[in-house]
Amino acid sequence: MAPESAFEELLALLKRAHVLGTIGDLLGWDEQVNLPAGAAEQRAAQHAALAEVQHAAISEARMGELLVVLEGTEGPPGSAVGMDSGQAAIVKQARREYDRATKLPVAFVRAKAAQGSRGYHAWARAKAENDFAGYAPVLEKNLEFARREAAYLGQGENAYDYMLDKHDPGLTAAAVDRLFGELKRDLVPLMRAILASPVAARARGVGERLRGFPVEGQRHFLREVTERIGFDYARGRIDVSLHPFCSGTGSDVRMTTRYNPDQPLDALFGSIHETGHGLYEQGLPAAHVGTALSIHAGMAVHESQSRLWENQIARSRSFWRYFEPRWRAFFPVQMEGLSSDDLYLAVNAVEPTLVRVDADEVTYNLHIVLRFEMEKKLFSGELAVADLPVAWRQASRELLGLEPVNDREGVLQDVHWCDGSFGYFPSYCLGNMIAAQLWSRWRVLRPDLEADFSQGDFSWPLGWLRENIHAQGRRLSALELVRRATGEELSPRHLVAYLQERYGSIYLT
């Protein structure tokens, strides 16, 4: 069989699998936005039936045959013979998915899915009752499943690397270890200095005065902002859900937010965050939909997109120079007596918290360092599940200066481990590092960038991201993509420098 026709056939199979995936996205979105409470069972059955069809599509024997024909036919760079680098990336990604779908025994997949669902309920109960001991057997089992899964994929010796690579292709524990070690060294003293500043208390005070912001006004304002920064509402929408998220891709991107009249900045910044994810999905090349050239480069890069818009851009003075008059026009009564400086301070408030999802941009990364250190030790065997609560409290005290008095605000706070999603947490912090490194690069390429923001013009950053990140799909690993886009290896120094500059100018002058 000629490689050309094998490639065409492979594309057709991949596109079909992709379409099935988009149907799953839609079911999931609807479940969180619209589903009547009584329909949960019916939706679970729909998910299960679709998952079976999806699995069959990606593990079809024909897919395996085509991959064998195509592998090794990559031509030398620049040559007209054999596959080009884009086609090679498509084949490599298809192999990755095919192996994951075919190397795991069906009985294992079924047992793992059931364990994940049991795990969620066990976690929810344990958190409500502050009962880590009751939850520990679930974690033990999840670790065992993770190790077995890695072994089936030939990664038994490097199970944690395998887990990291699942979310961020190409990432290893050694790489994360080095990056987080450097970050921790520089971030801890900076955080302590900021928290000791008298300005920190003032920021809290201003935050407490932001009360009674009508939801309707919030909704209109955030729509204006997200549209202005480039979200295309002809190819997406925003709705309300309990936990904000962004799903879908290409011409149908679904974002959600949630409103609280007494925390008006939450819905706004949450929406800008999801818009960053949405812009990435809207910017993936439509011509290659369903293939590696049209999927994101991993969760760290995805998170970098949301963080850039949410933090570097939307928490800047220049951003608010443009949007503050609009904000005041929507909320004249609520903003009475609050100055521009007050608003800027509320937008950039820093306060240590035990709970990761409530953390500000300065302290957030240390929450992730803590989880990475726990995961690494769990996988190496250095830490036993039973010893997690004590290890967590100690690490929390060392890193954040706060010690949880119960496990609900400690080791039980996050959902991720209950279904075995180990290796996911690092993406959040790596995303922050990537965002800061892109930001630093921009300021070299376009020193007047913030003057554009003051005018309400965000076209330059979006255009640059479209070309250098979005258009690349998954051609490259996250680390390689960052290297090409910024001209240097990923380093935490840009994140530290950014935090130092922005927060230092507010808290340490």
User: By the criterion CB under 5 A, which residues form the site for Zn ion?
Assistant: 306
Contact 289, 15 (CB under 8 A): yes
- Closest to Zn ion by CB, 306 or 365: 306
Shortest Cβ 309–Zn ion spacing (Å): 11
- Give the tokens for residue 250: 């290409």
Cα–Cα distance measured from residue 438 to residue 305, given in angstroms and rounded to the nearest whole number: 10
* CA 367 from centre of chain: 15
Catalytic residue among 74, 274, 303, 375: 274
> Per this entry, what is the length of the chain?
509
Q: Torsion over CA of 307, 312, 313 and 314, rounded to 10 degrees? A: 70
- Closest to Zn ion by CB, 424 or 453: 424
310 is annotated as an active-site residue: no
Shortest Cβ 227–Zn ion spacing (Å): 20
Cα–Cα distance measured from residue 26 to residue 296, given in angstroms and rounded to the nearest whole number: 18
Shortest Cβ 311–Zn ion spacing (Å): 11
List 254's β-bridge partners, or say none: 237, 247
* CA dihedral over 6, 9, 15, 19, signed as positive or negative: negative
Q: What is the 3-state secondary structure (H, E, C) of 467-498?
A: HHCHHHCCCCCHHHHHHHHHCCCCCCHHHHHH
- Closest to Zn ion by CB, 176 or 255: 255
* CA dihedral over 156, 161, 164, 165, signed as positive or negative: negative
Shortest Cβ 109–Zn ion spacing (Å): 27
Q: Which amino acid, residue 455?
A: Q
Shortest Cβ 303–Zn ion spacing (Å): 5
Residue nearest to Zn ion (CB): 306
DSSP 3-state of 248? strand
List 248's β-bridge partners, or say none: 253
- Closest to Zn ion by CB, 393 or 474: 474
- Closest to Zn ion by CB, 431 or 473: 431
DSSP 3-state of 240? strand
Catalytic positions are: 274
